[in-house]
Every structure is written in structure tokens, then in C-alpha cells.
Structure 1
Amino acid sequence: MKTVTAASRWKSLEQLRSTPLRRAIDCSKLTIPSCIPESDQNYGSLPQTYNKLPSLYQGAGARGVSNLSSKIGLALYPPNQPFFKLVLDKAKVQQQLAQMGDDASEIISQLDLKLASYERQIMQKLDELQARPAIAEAIRHLVIGGNAMLHVGKDSIRMFGLRSYVVDRDPEGNVRELVIREQVSREFLPITTSNKEEGAEEEFCDVYTHVTMDPDEDRCEWYQEYDGRRLQAQSGFSKMDACPYLILRLHRVAGEAFGRGIVEEALGDLQSLESLSQAIVQGSLIAAKAVALVNPNGTTRADAISRAENGAVVAGNSADVEFLTVNKNSDFATALQTMQMIEKRLNFVFLNNEAATRDASRVTAEEIRLMATQLESGLSGTYSVLAHELQLPLVKRVMHIMGVDGALPAMPKGLIEPVVQTGLEAIGRGNDKARLTNFIQTIGAALGPEALMQYVDPSELIRRFAASDGIDTDGLVKTDDDLQNEQAQQQQLMLEEQLAQGAIANGATTATPVPQGPSPQGGAGSPAGVPAAPAGMPAA
């Protein structure tokens, strides 16, 4: 029985990758040629095949890919805020605490604060792993070729392009097998397998990583192989939630193991734009060339014209000299008009700012904002796929790494789960805000502001607006208890002020003056019959 090796599985699964790879290369040629080149440009590439990349006549594709990649990256991984939230199943917690007889509300509030601190720790760990650059590179590959892979290690995150791996999926779309091929210098191999002393001619060698996944058994296993031999130090296993290999797709295709990118949807426009740009550039070079025609039977000498410097005086007749012209202005105008039409269509595909601006003399800011929101809503399908294949697995993998290192306690499964709150969730919140704003404006216009204040709860309205923008209202917006306490304090202060004013008024009406004057037998102010005290002595 023939032994199945990682190299043999690579050759077998490579056939499934041929068509998606060919399309990805064609898309890369018209956008960013270095992203998915025609030939594999790793360390082992020959000098004559390295860096032979096409030079483009247009930059709309590269500009569109960069713009769209940045938008998707910021939507999935926004700065200065977590893209996920650790959600507590409050119903289960309340049920367990009720059985124990504890105060559920106080404990749940403390748990929410603790989970918020865990979220910040996880985001800090992602920054230590340099997740943002790896995700940005992966998104660019996804936009162009539709496929990318991330390896989330304990110390860093690596990105692999479509040339470096093959994958097989079951009919439900779950990854069952993954093979990665890397060209590694022999210096980085273990001494027992480097074979330096055997006089190997090639400086680089192929190292394969074979990964098998079984969602039914909740198990992921992997090992590395070199020259048909397994490297035991590079093997391991984990649960599916802690799997370090994230195989990403942008657009799913039913029945295929690989995805497709956004550039493929606009490949025809990019090809047309490239051809028209090339024709206009080359035609412009021809039109810009100055060639003088001299009448051979005239008195003007051709060599005198060719040798003459700028501003020189040459003997001759102007009727003997004529410059060659192309006279293709109308043709160039047609090509230029077609180019502008294609660029406008590409702006919509890549969500460029020009697509959100209507060609008119007066365009309001609200119109631009609404158009941009509608364009970004077209990425809802993309966000849903990446939330399932990138964001959630990434968070769970980092939580596993931190749990093994002791930096994060074990989270009870089913009780505390990470939930993505960016991307598709943000689009949903934006739609909620638009509907809420429209509702308030309609009620105010139809019934007036008095009815709006009478029938709408201001506190609930503020909370819903904050939720639509993803703003945490804890400590920012006053709760009902805070408002009741403030109202009680104001009433108490008013009551105390009224009592103080009443006491002052009563004291002013009941007070009588004390008579002051000399006594017949004593000093001034002394009772009758009691002599005044001498100077320096206290009165009796």
C-alpha cells in the first residue's frame, strides 16, 4: 500500500486550484501585479523569472483595490475599539444565581465589567501579534483573488497567498484538508534533516504542512514534512475553535473549494480600460512626435532644418516645410469618453468617493452620505462571510492562546461567547438609525413637537440612538435610577430651602427688643437691687 504523504496530497489537490489561481493571476495583472504574480517569486525563484511583472497603462484597478481593501479593513477591524463583544447569557446566569439565592443584578453588572476588561486584553494581544498588518494583506488578496489564509501562531500571524496552499472542502463548505507548501532555506531546517553535509545542490527546499480537520469530532491535526519525512517537533492538534489555520474566502461558490474576488466581477471593464488607455497613450506619443516634411523640389534644404537650433535663422521658403499631423482628435475623444464611462462603473465597484458624488452643480452633504451608505451596504454579503471565517475564529484562537498562557481564564462554553459587532452588524445598526431618524422626523412633522415629547420616551430614544452608533452608554447617559435620585435631591433641597425661609420669617415676627438703660441702684443693664461688678471682675 502506497504511503500518503503531504507532497502527494499537494499534487492531487493542486488540480482543484488551477482555475481559481488562473483567474486570480489575470485579476492581479490588471490591478496589483505583485500580489499574485504569474510565477512563484519565493526565495527559490530563478533570477530570469523574478520580478518580471507587467507595467500597466492605467491605475484605476490598483487605486480601487487599495480603497476597497482599506474600507473593508476599517469596517472589520476598527481602530481604538474591539470588533467583538463577549456576551453573557444572562438568562442562564440569573437561573443559576436564583438557585443560589444571590443578587443576580449586582453580579451580572460585575461580570459585564470583567468581560469588558477581557475584551481589552484580547485586543492588546492582537496588537502584540501584529494582526492588523496581516489582516490588511489578507484582505487585499481576498479582493483581488478571493482567497487567503492566516496562520495564527503564539508569537505572530502569517499570511499565505493562493500560490502557497491547496484546500479541500466537504459539500457543506467545511474545510477537511489543507496542504501548505513553503520554500525554506536549509539553514532553518533541524540539523537532523538539513543534510548540509551531504552536499545538496539546491539552497532551498520544499517543506509541506498537512492539516486535517474533522468538525464532527471537533479536532484539528497538523504536521510538517520534508523530503517524505515528518518533523515531529512541528506536529500538533487542537479543537476546531482553537485551530491556528484560518482559510478565508471573499465570495463563496457552491461546490467549489475556493472563493472568488471582487476584481473578477469587474475584469471585463478593467481589460477594456487597459486596452483603451494603452491605445490613447501610444496614440498620444505618435501625435506628439514632431516630423517636418520638406519639399524636395523647393529652395529650403532639409539638412539646414534638421541642424537648426531653437531660434536659429535659416534661409528658405515656408511653403516648402510642413509638419506631419495625425488628425485623430475625434477618434481620441471617442476613446476618452468610453474610458470615462468605464472608470465611472469601476468607481461603483470599488466604492470610490467619486461614485458617491452626483454630477451636478449642487450636491448636498446628506445626499453624499446617503449614497455612500447605500454603496457600502452592497458589502453585506462579504462582511457575513468574513465574520464567520475570519473574525470569530481569530478571536477564539487568541482566547485559546491567552488561556494556555494563563493570561485569560477559561470561558464557560455556552455561557460566554464572542459576538462580532462590526461589519454586517454595523450596517444593520446604521439602517436602524436611519429608520429611527425617519420615524422621529415623521412624528414631529405630523403631530408637532408637543406630541413627540408626550408620547416618546427621551431616555429610550437616547439609548437607541447610541446603540445604532455602537456607543456604550455606561457612565455617559443617566439611567432612570440616576434621574430619580437627582429629582429626589432637588425636592429635598427645595423643601429645606422653604423650611429655612419660613424659620427666618417666624423669627422676625416674634422677636422683641431688650430694654437698655441705667439702673437706679446699679450699672447700666444690671437687674434692680444688684450692684454692678467692678472693672476687671466678672458679674455675679
Structure 2
Amino acid sequence: MAEKLQLIPDAKTTFNKLKTDRDPYTQRAEANAKITIPSLFPKENDNAQTKYEQPYQSVGARGINNLSSKLNLALFPPNERFFRLGISPAELQAMGVDEKQMAEADQALMRIEERVNRFIEDNQIRITVNECLLQLLVAGNCLLFLPPAEGGARMYNLKQYVLRRDPLGNVLQIVTLDKVAKMALPEELQSLVADGKPEDDIEVYTKIQRNGDEWVTFQEINETIVQGSEQSYPIDKAPYIPLRMTKQDGESYGRSFIEEYYGDLLSLENISKAIAFVAMVSSKVLFLVNPNGLTRPKKLQDAKSGDFVTGRADDVQALQLSKYPDLQIALQHSDRLEQRLSFSFLLNSVVQRNAERVTAEEIRTVASELEDTLGGIYSILSQELQLPLIKRIMAVLMSQGEIVQLPDGVVEPTITTGMEALGRGHDFNKYMTFLSAIGQVPEALQMMNISNLVTSIATSLGIETTGLVKTQEELQAEQEQAMGQQMAMQGMAQGMQQAQGEEM
């Protein structure tokens, strides 16, 4: 157990010190938001009255909305558990648990899983997680906060917090900044901000400091620690969950998804702007009249349809830009950029190729390849979002007495979505290909262990086979029962034949 940390009111100082390291990431996030959804990452002085300049293309906005939805559904599928609680075999052996007790333990763990899922839905955590995913795609970083008592969740964008990690990526410090109206503060805290109007915003800093195997937190106003705000949490059950899209060695913050495709997005934005400008200019209709000709513009302007006007056709010509060949080059390049970005953002429009006949297998193959590109994202989010979220929610439920107290290190959650689901999906495709191949070989199915095959296919689809697929013992018992019934029927038939013979 680490020694008690001496708290000093340095949250604001730490925030300002670490802010310098964070500034390059916020600048890139502002540039990324400008060509996708500008309101996702506003500038420092923006407010509800700010009118943002809208991009000239919608590929960026459609792309991040599509990706965030896919990630949300993959990581937190509705009406389905995205994790499973289990006890290690070594612990089971040490506790001497038999098969019946193990079945009862599985049922108890399943009820806890359902309660965690219900907590996520009841507190609208899925909505906040979707906000986090949008921030990760555009800014690469955000902070998820689950209040200890109030329930629900809150997202801090990159401008509202700073942090510091060690070379291995472990978080050492976090400082958040909240701006609260003075009138909203409790009366005992308003003495800390005697100056100012009631509607003025007060800066409240919260510092989260790592101290051995626990987190120590406190709040600070005007460089004074708020009495009663001191808290401590286990290292793996803190209400603050810092998230990042990618891991960069030696950097405290991650990089965004948009940053990897910024060049294509910026090029498409500039070309779309140029095409829109040329289209607007081309749509303006102007006629040039020869000043030395016989035709008078006034007579043309006043003439009605079908009237006869004195003049020569050569004296009047429509003004044309004659930029059609140049515009075609821009349009072709724009189409190529849009197609590349659509693949990167997994937009459905690129899954099906442009052809008369497209097989379902082609669509499945392309879709699978596109989903595989999210493998790295799934990996880091499962470790830095899903697992900490589960552990924090379980800690809250245990503190409220809604689930039983579980000993540390005995029951551990295992993620069953994201990267794990991708691996099972590949296994299912292999099983289907295998069955299709051996179906063409005579008597090949007789060589198969059908029970194991059915169980393996169910596992590849993430289906629990307990109570669904018969075990070998159940099949053997049914066979013995059928044989017994058959022998009984034969015995009855023989008895009836003997009785009939004696009567004769």
C-alpha cells in the first residue's frame, strides 16, 4: 500500500504546465473538424452564437458518422452482452468447485452481466460513448467520466483536460477544467469566489494523481482545495477513463483517424469548393452584343416571345467560360478522392462494385476486408474503453449493493465483441468453406464428428451452446433409451406370439 499522498493546491498550475504539450493536438483537431463537422471541436472562444463555415463536401461528415455508428454497434451491440465474466481454472481447482456448483456460478455471473448491461442502457452511457467515438475520430483523444453517485456519464473533449503518461502509456496525472456559474456553487464554496457577478463562470479544476496502486483526486477553486472533495479509487476502477484512438510511443496523447486521411480530405474540400465556384459562375447567363452592329439590346430585352426584331444573329452571342475540359479533369480527380475516402470510412456505397452481376459472396468478402481495417482500433478500445468501463460499473453496483461483492483477481471480464468478434467471423467463414468443399466428396460426412462441428460453428457465431446442443452423454443416454424401448417392443412382440401359439 502506497503512503498517503500530501495534497497541495497545484491543479491549475499543472493544467497550465501540461497545456503546452497538448496544444499541437488541439490545433490538429480544429483543422480536422473544419473539413468534417466543425461543431465537433470548436475553438476556444466559440459559443452557441458561433456560425461555422460549412465544408463544401459531405464525405468527411458522412464518414465519421458512419464509422462512429459501426464502432458503437461493434463494441456495444444492443440486446447482447459485449463481455463475459469468468473464473480462471486455477481458481476453480483451488476452491474445489464441482460441476453443479460451476453451473450455479455461471448463472450468477450471467445475472451480473445482465445487470451491467442494464446499467449502461438505463444511464444512457451508450449515447455518451458515441460522443467519445466522434471525438476520437476527429481529435484522437477524449476523457470519459462516470460520476460516483449521480449516475450517467460525461465526456470531456481535448480542450477540457490535460494528462501525462509514462513511456509505457500508463496515465500518471489528469487535470480537468469545468466552468460553473457562481450561482450554481454551494453556499459554502461561494466564499472562495467573493468577487464577480452571480452569473460569472468559475473555473473548477479537478486533479487525478496516481499514487501507487490507487488514484487520489481533489477539486480546486482559486488555488484552494475544496474541502470534502478528496477521494481515492483503486487503480483499475477509477471514474475517469482517458481514451485515445491510436497509441504513439513517447506521446501522452493519441492521434486521430482523420489525421491519417487529412491530405485526401483537404484536396477534396479544395476541389469541391473550386467546382462549386465554377458551377455558380457558369450558371449566370450573359449576352454580348456587338456595339457596332445593327441589333439593339433594348429591343431584344423588350421583345416578347414570337416578336420580330431587326438585327443580325452574329451581333449577339452568349458568354461562355469554355472551361469544360478543365472542369472534367477536376471532376474525375474529385471522384477518385471520394472513392478512396469512402473505402477508408467503410461507407456502404463502395461495398458493392458497379457491375451488372455482383454476387453475395463478393459483397461479404469486401465488407469483411473493410471491417478488418478496424482491427487496430478494436484492440486499443477494448483495453482502454470496454474493460475499464466494465470494472468501474461493477464497482459502482457493488458499492450500491445491487450485485454481490466479488473478490479481486478471481472473477475477470473477457471482451466478446470487436476484435474477438472479427476472429470468430473468420472462423465461421472457414467452416462454411470447409463444409462446401467436403459436400462434394462422397461419404465425407460420415468421417466427421458432427457434435464437435456443430459446437464449433456455434462458437464462431458467438452462440452459447449450453442447453442448446446435446452433449455426448445426452446422446448416449437417448441411444440407450431407444435401444431399451426397442428391446421392450421386441419382447412384447415375442410374448404375444408365444401366447397366440399356446391358444392354438
Q: Which of the five TM-score ranges fits, normalised by the shorter chain?
A: over 0.9
Which runs of structure 2 are paired with 1:119-518 in the superposition (5 Å)?
119-153=113-147, 154=149, 155-194=151-190, 198-200=195-197, 203-214=200-211, 217-307=212-302, 311=305, 313=307, 315-317=309-311, 318-445=313-440, 448-454=441-447, 456-511=448-503
Q: How far, CA to CA, are the matches of 1:198 and 1:95 in structure 2?
A: 63
User: Which residue matches 1:107?
Assistant: 101
User: Which residue matches 1:529?
Assistant: none
Q: Indicate conservation of the 8 Å contact 1:176/1:212, yes or no.
A: yes
User: Which residue matches 2:15?
Assistant: 10
Q: How far, CA to CA, are the matches of 2:57 and 2:458 in structure 1?
A: 43
SS in 2 for 1:168: strand
Q: CA separation of 1:308/1:385 partners in 2, compared to 1, >3 Å: closer, same or farther?
A: farther
Q: How far, CA to CA, are the matches of 2:63 and 2:473 in structure 1?
A: 51
TM-fit CA distance, 1:414:
2.5
Q: CA separation of 1:210/1:331 partners in 2, compared to 1, >3 Å: closer, same or farther?
A: same
SS in 2 for 1:232: coil
Q: Indicate conservation of the 8 Å contact 1:304/1:314, yes or no.
A: no
Q: Indicate conservation of the 8 Å contact 1:90/1:108, yes or no.
A: no
Q: How far, CA to CA, are the matches of 1:201 and 1:82 in structure 2?
A: 47
Q: Match for 1:471: what amino acid?
A: I
Q: Match for 2:466: what amino acid?
A: D
SS in 1 for 2:39: coil
Q: How far, CA to CA, are the matches of 2:126 and 2:306 in structure 1?
A: 63
User: Which residue matches 1:538?
Assistant: none
Q: Match for 1:158: what amino acid?
A: R
Q: Any gaps of 5 or more consecutive residues in structure 2?
A: 1-7
Q: Match for 1:77: what amino acid?
A: F
Q: How far, CA to CA, are the matches of 1:322 and 1:114 in structure 2?
A: 85
SS in 1 for 2:281: helix
Q: How far, CA to CA, are the matches of 2:170 and 2:194 in structure 1?
A: 44
Q: Indicate conservation of the 8 Å contact 2:182/2:197, yes or no.
A: no
TM-fit CA distance, 1:262:
1.0
Q: How far, CA to CA, are the matches of 2:236 and 2:107 in structure 1?
A: 25
Q: CA separation of 1:404/1:486 partners in 2, compared to 1, >3 Å: closer, same or farther?
A: same
TM-fit CA distance, 1:245:
0.2
Q: Indicate conservation of the 8 Å contact 2:339/2:350, yes or no.
A: yes
TM-fit CA distance, 1:16:
0.8
Q: CA separation of 1:147/1:449 partners in 2, compared to 1, >3 Å: closer, same or farther?
A: farther
Give aligned pairs, total: 493
Q: CA separation of 1:286/1:308 partners in 2, compared to 1, >3 Å: closer, same or farther?
A: farther
Q: Match for 1:95: what amino acid?
A: A
Q: Indicate conservation of the 8 Å contact 2:303/2:309, yes or no.
A: no
Q: How far, CA to CA, are the matches of 2:92 and 2:182 in structure 1?
A: 55
SS in 1 for 2:395: helix
SS in 2 for 1:246: strand
User: Which residue matches 1:533?
Assistant: none
Q: Match for 1:34: what amino acid?
A: S
Q: CA separation of 1:225/1:308 partners in 2, compared to 1, >3 Å: closer, same or farther?
A: farther
SS in 1 for 2:79: coil
Q: How far, CA to CA, are the matches of 2:116 and 2:379 in structure 1?
A: 22
**Rg: which structure is higher?**
1
Q: CA separation of 1:312/1:260 partners in 2, compared to 1, >3 Å: closer, same or farther?
A: farther
Is 1:68 the counterpart of 2:67? The answer is yes
Q: CA separation of 1:499/1:63 partners in 2, compared to 1, >3 Å: closer, same or farther?
A: same
SS in 1 for 2:131: helix
TM-fit CA distance, 1:411:
1.5
Farther-moved stretch of structure 1 (365-374 vs 482-491): 482-491
SS in 1 for 2:466: coil
User: Which residue matches 2:57?
Assistant: 58
SS in 2 for 1:470: coil
Q: How far, CA to CA, are the matches of 1:363 and 1:35 in structure 2?
A: 38
Q: Match for 1:450: what amino acid?
A: E
Q: Indicate conservation of the 8 Å contact 1:150/1:157, yes or no.
A: yes
Q: Identity of aligned pairs, percent?
A: 36
Q: Indicate conservation of the 8 Å contact 2:9/2:223, yes or no.
A: no
Q: How far, CA to CA, are the matches of 1:279 and 1:37 in structure 2?
A: 25
User: Which residue matches 1:23?
Assistant: 28
Q: Deviations over 1:90-124 (max 9, x none)?
A: 33213321xxxxx6111111111111111101111
Q: How far, CA to CA, are the matches of 2:429 and 2:353 in structure 1?
A: 21
SS in 2 for 1:78: coil
User: Which residue matches 1:525?
Assistant: none
Q: Deviations over 1:442-495 (max 9, x none)?
A: 4454xx2413322x2111111111111111112221221221222122222222
Q: Deviations over 1:202-229 (max 9, x none)?
A: 6212111111123xx2110111111122
Farther-moved stretch of structure 1 (158-167 vs 191-200): 191-200
Q: Match for 1:296: what amino acid?
A: P
Q: Match for 1:171: what amino acid?
A: P
Q: Match for 2:20: what amino acid?
A: Q
